[in-house]
Structure 1
Amino acid sequence: MKHTHTTSKDLAVQDNERPDKILQRRNFLKLVGAGATGIALLSVTGCKKDDSPPDDMGGKGFYFGSGDIAILNYAYALEQLEAAFYIEMIKNPYANISEWEKTLFTDIRDHEIAHREFFKKALGDKAIDPLEFDFSKVNFSNRENVLATAKVFEDLGVSAYNGAGWLIANGDYLLLAGKIVSVEARHAALVRDLIDNGSFADSEVIDSNGLDVSNSPTKVLQAAAPFIKSKVDVSDLPTY
């Protein structure tokens, strides 16, 4: 069964289980997400109309644009992917999910929606259309499979921002990307710890210099491709 990108009203969260720890973690996640939520209300300057090709280029797919616009659409596409995944996860939670874990993932879902909406607003008429996604290979009823997929997305997202940062020409864009990647890194650490306590900063994601792994846009999109149903045109996306 294939699930595609959808929009959803926020689901109510019940805080009747382990209220002290739930409130403590919810406050933590809200604090780290506050910066992204706040900037989601602002438009990034500099997105003026030019002669870029339209979204649908003769079957090639949604055109990301060039330069910084392409990088922003690249980030927007990844945030769409993550938001769609967590929306589906909360709508169809895995078997025997605790209220504690549901609360955490609801907060993460809300952060990803905030990130998605920020890029949509920042890009204005340069934003690609909402993408469709294929989560048919994800068994949403199985905790192990869901967490493994979340780990892939979160680790990929962090490496994507790390890898694209130096390609951004506008300093304002770079600053905002840095604020968002710090939130994504916290998501990744949480998911990793839910899978294997203490693995939040292991050698899979931190190199021998103590630095986060980074990946080029090309590698990131190749990894994300099995989940992206829509065709995209990234021919002018800066990469290396």
Structure 2
Amino acid sequence: MTDSEHLIATMDNRVRRRDDRREFFKAAFGVGAFAVGGAAALSFSTKASAQAITDADILNFALNLEYLEAQFYAIAATGSYLSTTLTGGGNGTTAAGTVVGGRPVTFRDPVVAQYAREIAADEIAHVTFLRSAGALGTAAVAMPNIDIRGGAGGPFGAAAAAAGLSPSFDPYADDASFLLGAYIFEDVGVTAYKGASPLVQNRTFLQAAAGILAVEAYHAAIVRTTLYGLGVETPSLRSAADAISNARDSLDGPNDLDQGISPVTLSGALVSNIVPADPVSAIAFSRSPQQVLNIVYLNNAAATMGGFFPNGVNGNIRGGIASL
């Protein structure tokens, strides 16, 4: 058997193991365990269903995710939220939502602190760009209400509970916790841009989306690589990241897409899993807007709000749709 065949067989075995774990999560937490309640969680009504999806709709969908990432990284790395000049809709003509939770991380490792500050600056720049005249301009939606609380009762705790980890998980507690919190978001951002990019018609906007996708992929690689390295001495970090991966898979639908960071064995040697890509083509996978929302809403039903966005995202793509 060739090395490629060994790797494919190994990945096939991992897929089966992840399927088993995903079924466990579904049984343990139930379909719609994080549902916002009643018919609202099952509704397929959406503004997007009544009209054609435009490039502005897609960029605004991305902007909502950038608001979330920017607020998380900004408060964790710098101790400050986004400037209010970057949160109002229509260049400030529509009031922004509020942010609850978050605090500065007291980093022990200066390298992790530097990573955090760089990623925070990048995410703030993404928000600035998407709101600029060269992108959405006055069509930019306001920041929705965002919840980035750690601990029990907050979405990070709920995400951890979905992964079989402690519901008191706090991403602001220390370096490792911050990295696991970042890991919840980063792979989702990459797959979101990968899934949305083919829908963009304007070539200038498509080029911009591709550029942001590349930066998000760098961020994801930093987080995955750092967790992988720290996992040499602290294997629980790798297993925690794998559990988060399984939880994302339990939220975004029946297909096995996500990959953790634990290594596989190829021809008797360990091979890292820094890049979560197709094992044959090495192409990154995509998520539909609904799959992305399932994860950030912490709900495997067709919800329109919840989790990190307690009142949903702003714009025409809010949820309740299987695909665009």
Q: Which category describes the TM-score, using the shorter chain as reference length?
A: 0.5 to 0.7
What's the % identity of the aligned pairs?
Answer: 32
User: Is the partner of 1:141 in helix, strand or coil?
Assistant: coil
Instruction: Output the TM-score relative to the length of structure 1.
Output: 0.67
- Report the secondary structure of 2:206's partner residue: helix
Change (3 A) 1:217 1:194: same
Distance 1:230 1:165 in 2: 26
Unaligned runs of 5+ in 2: 1-45, 80-102, 151-155, 157-169, 232-260, 263-271, 298-306
Number of matched pairs: 179
2:312·2:318 contact (CA, 8 Å) conserved in 1? no
- Counterpart code for 1:160: A
Contact 1:67 1:238 in 2 (8 A): no
CA gap of 1:67–1:193, structure 2 versus 1, over 3 A, is: same
Equivalent residue in structure 2 for 1:221, among 283, 293, 311: 293
Higher relative contact order (CA closer than 8 Å, sequence separation 6+): 1
CA distance in 1, matches of 2:311, 2:127: 17
Decide whether aligned partners of structure 1 residues 203 and 112 sit closer, same or farther in structure 2, where only a CA change above 3 A counts: closer
The CA deviation string for residues 7-29 of structure 1, in whole angstroms up to 9 with x for no partner, is: xxxxxxxxxxxxxxxxxxxxxxx
The reply on whether 1:136 has 2:121 as its aligned counterpart is no
Q: Are the equivalent residues in 2 in contact too, given 1:69–1:126 (CA < 8 A)? A: yes
Alpha-carbon shift at residue 135 of structure 1 (Å):
1.3
Q: CA deviation at 1:207?
A: 1.0
Q: Does residue 173 of structure 2 align to residue 173 of structure 1? A: no
Contact 2:225 2:274 in 1 (8 A): no
Q: Tell me, yes or no, if the aligned pair for 1:151 and 1:188 is still in contact at 8 Å.
A: yes
Alignment partner of 1:153: what SS?
helix
Residue 211 in structure 1 maps to residue 283 in structure 2: yes
Asked if 1:187 is matched to 2:219, the reply is yes
Report the equivalent of 2:59.
Answer: 72
Q: How does 1:75-86 map to 2 (within 5 A)?
A: 75-86=62-73
Q: How does 1:70-149 map to 2 (within 5 A)?
A: 70-90=57-77, 91=79, 92-121=103-132, 122-137=135-150, 138=156, 139=170, 140-149=172-181
In structure 2, distance between residues paired with 1:81 and 1:211: 26
TM-score (normalizing by structure 2): 0.50
Deviations 1:42-73 (A, max 9, x none): xxxxxxxxxxxxxxxxxxxx978831111000
State the structure with more CA Rg: 2
Deviation at 1:142, TM superposition (A): 3.4
2:312 aligns to what? 231
Of 170, 177, 188 in structure 2, the residue corresponding to residue 156 of structure 1 is 188
Deviation of the 1:235 alpha carbon: 5.8
CA distance in 1, matches of 2:212, 2:318: 25
Q: What's the offset of the Cα at 1:146?
A: 1.9
SS in 1 for 2:216: helix
**What is the rounded CA distance, in whole Å, between the counterparts of 1:96 and 1:177 in structure 2?**
32
Question: Considering only aligned residues, what root-mean-square deviation do their CA atoms show, in Å?
Answer: 2.7
Q: Following TM superposition, by how much is the alpha carbon of 1:132 offset from its aligned partner in structure 2, in angstroms? A: 2.3
